[in-house]
Amino acid sequence: MFEPGHVLGDRYEIEGLLGQGGMAHVFAAHDRHLDRSVALKVLRPHLTETDAERFRREIQALARLSHPGIVTIFDLGVGSEWVYFAMERIDGGVFTDLGPFEDDLGSQTRFLRAAVTVAETLGYVHQLGMVHRDLTPRNILMSSRGAPKLMDFGLVQLTESSRELTKTGFTLGTPHYMAPEQATGGMTDATTDIYAFGAVLYRTVTGESAFDAANDQAVLYRHVYDNAVPAIERNPLVPDDLSELIASMLEKTPERRPRSAFAIAETLRAILRSQEDLAASRAAGGASRTSSYSTGPVAHRALREAWRIRLERGPQWPAGLAALDGFILAGLRSDTLAVLRARDGGRVARFELQDEVDQVPVRTGQQLWVSTRDGALSEISWPSGRTNWRGEDVDAAGLAALGTDLLLTRRDGLMERWLPNKSVRWSYALEAATELPPIVHAGQAMAIDTHGMLIAVDLSDGRETFRVGLEAQPAQAAASQGILLLQERSGEIHGFALRSREVMWSFGLEGDTYGSPAIAGGRVYATSWAGSLVCISLEHGDAIWSRELGAAVTASPTVAAGRVWVVTEAGSLHGFEASDGREVDVRSISSAPIQAPALPVGGRLLVASTDGTVVAFD
């Protein structure tokens, strides 16, 4: 229709084609009058009157709407040959790029906050008596700052005055996201959009459509007659409450769906709060091991000591602290799992074990999994402390929760997914033994053996998806936003893109490294035995800032509420602003080494040294 360089309306210089549909082309363009980038939607010539009416309806609908969650219309152009409108250009991808749902708080927060915005935007549209009727991932675009924008209102229904488009047999929309009543040509209302949004959420959190088939008619048939597999079954990292919300949005009968998009927004906010609370119960913040948390001491002042206690012995690397239901779990070198009250440090329970705890305990449902140095793995009921089962020779190298399932790597070179009854859903034999925990990201479980071979398998069935060799002694890894951070013990870090399966960048730390790097806000925070803390770009691997700590570091850094906390072998705690590396606090905790990462719990930060000193800071 137009080539780059063409000027439309003596104002808009065409830069390229963004997309096209049955009735219009969308072009990237430059607004010469206001010197800004825009998107131009241009009606195809010689269309039917029905298509032209849909185009006019889209312009009218957008002109009525003023909301930060809706793409803004700037200008309408009507000439002798072309009808078009100019709108803001959105360059950040589509909504489903936020998925699948991961086990790290950063990606969960991005997804859930975006979902809240979409729900509130739908609520606004519905309050005006309008129904979108074509809510799909391609119609929910993401800005460069991660804010979703609804667009393409060509099928909008004005519920009080435009019944002619809902006559029986007249079906418009996108099959994979179409409510049953829309698929059968029935009447549509706000719950039709709620169903479509449920289908979009399903596709985002699982990576798969709720219903798929060989052709559009078969897809529509399944929307009308089949029930979707629960999202949690497709992706075990999806929380129960989120899976149930999506299922309610996909109810066949409109009356059984949530009646308000605003109510969906409130439920999504509650799910986000729940995930923030749960982050402290997961080793390294989750199976992606980003060591990033949204909670922690307030950022405008120095730390204040809330309480300090002394246990007989403290956690030793790679063991550490975890938080559950207002309690702190500390795996001690005295063959004990200590349970403390988070509010005052009072010791409320002592779970006796056969040997020293060697990893952070993992919770699946109401069960705790505790690994000890003698190779045993114990299943303990929470909060009673009763040992339900003990496997003497599991010899776990690392554990991760997959909903109610357990993912583990074993030092004999196996990676396995266990069901709640401890039967093995799948097992994969690595090429050599492993001493590192598994990483879960982008629908894959990944393990690194002692020869430096990374092997990734499909999380659902254990089928190998790819492998890549480090050719060096590996250290703990982490993953975020589709990028896996592969570390060598010597301090070399590689940013590996999971989609292209290529190394994007490499960065060398001074000194050996043991703990995994922390990842937050598109930045990587890494420490080494040489006593340095470095902040680098996740996307490019460029150094942003660095600080010298004056002591060796074994534990992973912790990012909490915008600050980076690092503990050292000299028994000190250091705090820095995550944005610019400005030092905000330094404390001497003990004369003994600290090898367990600092743990944020609510508005507090917990630190435990190997001599048993445990301190909580506000």
pLDDT at residue 582 in the model = 96
Per the structure, the complete domain to which residue 71 belongs is given by: 7-88
Confidence of residue 79 (pLDDT cuts 50, 70, 90): low
Same domain, 220 and 130: yes
**Is-contact 319 358, C-beta < 8 A?**
yes
Confidence of residue 550 (pLDDT cuts 50, 70, 90): very high
pLDDT at residue 519 in the model = 97
In a domain, 2, yes or no: no
Dist CA 457 CA 608 (whole Å): 35
Last residue of a domain, one of 255, 277, 299: 277
Does this model's pTM top 0.85? My answer is yes
Dist CA 320 CA 595 (whole Å): 8
Same domain, 547 and 433: yes
Residue 206, SS3 per DSSP = helix
Ranges 76-90, 243-257, 463-477: which has the least confidence = 76-90
Q: List active site positions.
A: 134
| Residue 345, token pair as written in the block | 């440090």
Same domain, 246 and 360: no
List, in order, residues 6 or more apart from 336 with CB less than 8 Å away. 312, 350, 351, 352, 353, 357
Same domain, 192 and 334: no
Give 539: exposed, middle or buried? Use CB within 10 Å, 0-12, 13-18, 19+: middle
Same domain, 80 and 115: no
Residue 91 has pLDDT above 90, yes or no: no
The Cβ of residue 594 has, within 10 Å, a number of other Cβ atoms equal to: 29
pLDDT at residue 250 in the model = 98
**Beta 613-617 vs 518-520: how paired, if at all?**
unpaired
Dist CA 241 CA 516 (whole Å): 30
Dist CA 576 CA 56 (whole Å): 54
**Is-contact 24 17, C-beta < 8 A?**
no
Average pLDDT over residues 507-535: 96
The label of the residue with tokens 């496997």 reads 391
Confidence of residue 290 (pLDDT cuts 50, 70, 90): very high
Last residue of a domain, one of 62, 88, 114: 88
Beta strand spans in 327-419 (E): 327-332, 336-341, 347-352, 362-364, 367-371, 377-381, 387-391, 396-402, 405-410, 414-418
| Residue 258, token pair as written in the block | 């949530």
Q: What is the 3-state secondary structure (H, E, C) of 245-311?
A: HHHHHCCCCHHHCCCCHHHHHHHHHHHHHHHHHHHHHCHHHCCCCCCEECCCCCCCCCCCEEEEEEC
Dist CA 212 CA 263 (whole Å): 28
Residue 611 has pLDDT above 80, yes or no: yes
pLDDT at residue 163 in the model = 40
In a domain, 94, yes or no: no
Instruction: Give the tens place of pLDDT for each residue, 33-69.
Output: 999 999 998 887 776 777 777 777 777 777 778 899 9
Q: What is the DSSP letter of 521?
A: T
Dist CA 324 CA 339 (whole Å): 10
Last residue of a domain, one of 252, 277, 302: 277
pLDDT at residue 166 in the model = 39
In a domain, 93, yes or no: no
Same domain, 589 and 477: yes
In a domain, 95, yes or no: no
The label of the residue with tokens 């488009």 reads 165
pLDDT at residue 282 in the model = 86
The CA distances from residue 187 to 162, 168, 216, 266, in Å, are 11, 8, 20, 27
What residue type is 73 in one-letter code?
A: I
The b/e string for 102-132 (b: 16+ C-beta within 10 A; e otherwise) is bbbbbbbbebbbbbbbbbbbbbbbbeeebbb
CATH number at residue 123: 1.10.510.10
The b/e string for 433-452 (b: 16+ C-beta within 10 A; e otherwise) is bbbbbbbbbbbbbbbbbbbb
Same domain, 209 and 320: no
Q: In what order do the strands lie in the sheet with 492-497?
A: 474-480, 483-488, 492-497, 502-508
Share above pLDDT 90 across residues of the chain, in percent, rounded to a whole number? 78
In a domain, 128, yes or no: yes
CATH number at residue 367: 2.130.10.10
Ranges 105-114, 240-249, 289-298: which has the least confidence = 289-298
Which one, of 164, 156, 233, lies nearest residue 196 by Cα? 156
Dist CA 436 CA 409 (whole Å): 7
**Beta 292-293 vs 558-560: how paired, if at all?**
parallel
For the chain, what is the domain count?
3
CATH number at residue 30: 3.30.200.20
Same domain, 77 and 113: no
Same domain, 368 and 505: yes
Residue 220 has pLDDT above 70, yes or no: yes
In a domain, 37, yes or no: yes
Dist CA 526 CA 323 (whole Å): 24
Confidence of residue 298 (pLDDT cuts 50, 70, 90): confident
Beta strand spans in 499-593 (E): 502-508, 518-520, 523-527, 532-537, 543-548, 558-560, 563-567, 572-577, 583-588
pLDDT at residue 482 in the model = 94
Q: What is the DSSP letter of 95?
A: G
Stated length of the chain: 618
- As a whole number, the mean pLDDT across the chain is 91
Same domain, 417 and 454: yes
Residue 333 has pLDDT above 70, yes or no: yes
Same domain, 38 and 72: yes
Confidence of residue 499 (pLDDT cuts 50, 70, 90): very high
The b/e string for 471-504 (b: 16+ C-beta within 10 A; e otherwise) is eeebbbbbbbbbbbbbbbbebbbbbbebeeeeee
Dist CA 411 CA 94 (whole Å): 41
**Is-contact 297 561, C-beta < 8 A?**
yes
Same domain, 173 and 195: yes
As beta bridge partners, residue 520 has: 523
Residue 159 has pLDDT above 70, yes or no: no
Instruction: Give the tens place of pLDDT for each residue, 162-191.
Output: 444 333 333 456 899 999 999 999 999 999
Residue 417 has pLDDT above 60, yes or no: yes
**Beta 474-480 vs 444-448: how paired, if at all?**
unpaired
